[in-house]
Structure 1
Amino acid sequence: MKIVQEEEHSNGAPTLEGTGIRVVDIAVAYEHSGYDPDEITQLYPDLSLSDVHTALAYYYEHIDELRTTLKERTS
């Protein structure tokens, strides 16, 4: 599965293609809630372990941009 950014889905936030699940939601589950990748697949049953790792890799490659987005969203 790949990461896409489309205005008509999640206001252009990076999502896993075909799911509507945002990369930042997976990152928050991992970093802030302490879920491991296997547990994240239980939170999001439509995702495989590979999908979770793809999202986390994207997150860490774009961490400054996505953390700024998270801060804006929670303010």
Structure 2
Amino acid sequence: MTEIVRDDDHSAGSPTIEGTGIRVVDVASAYEHSGYDPDEITQLYPPLDLVDVHTALAYYYEHIEELRPATESSASA
């Protein structure tokens, strides 16, 4: 089962997909801002499978108020 974790020593405490170091906001940004579908996101981030992508997106939408400012600032960078 895919887990979303936070580690203050990694990614400044941003939620990541356990065992990958890939941030939830990066997956959400690829989906929302770049228009990639979940299959394409697994190609962008080979360590991820579809379960990981959907878990990250579900986590993002459950915590959108907390995470959206981080997504917007990373998209404009």
Whether TM exceeds 0.5 here: the answer is yes
Percent sequence identity over aligned pairs: 69
Aligned to 2:58: 57
Q: CA deviation at 1:9?
A: 1.0
Paired AA for residue 55 in structure 1 = A
1:31-60 deviations in whole A, cap 9, x for unaligned? 000000000000001001000000000000
The CA distance in 2 between the partners of 1:49 and 1:22, in whole Å, is 15
Mapped to 1, the partners of 2:44 and 2:69 lie a distance apart of 24
Provide TM-score, normalisation by structure 2: 0.90
Counterpart residue number, 1:40: 41
In the aligned structure 1, how far is the partner of 2:31 from the partner of 2:7? 24
Contact conserved, 2:4 with 2:56, CA < 8 A, in 1? yes
Point out where structure 2 has 5 or more consecutive residues left out of the alignment.
none
Name the residue aligned to 2:18: 17
Q: How far apart, in 1, do the equivalents of 2:49 and 2:72 lie?
A: 28
RMSD of aligned Cα (Å)? 1.4
Note the residue ranges of structure 1 that are not aligned, 5 or more in a row. none
Q: CA separation of 1:40/1:72 partners in 2, compared to 1, >3 Å: closer, same or farther?
A: closer
**Which stretches of structure 1, 4 residues or more, deviate above 6 A after TM superposition?**
none
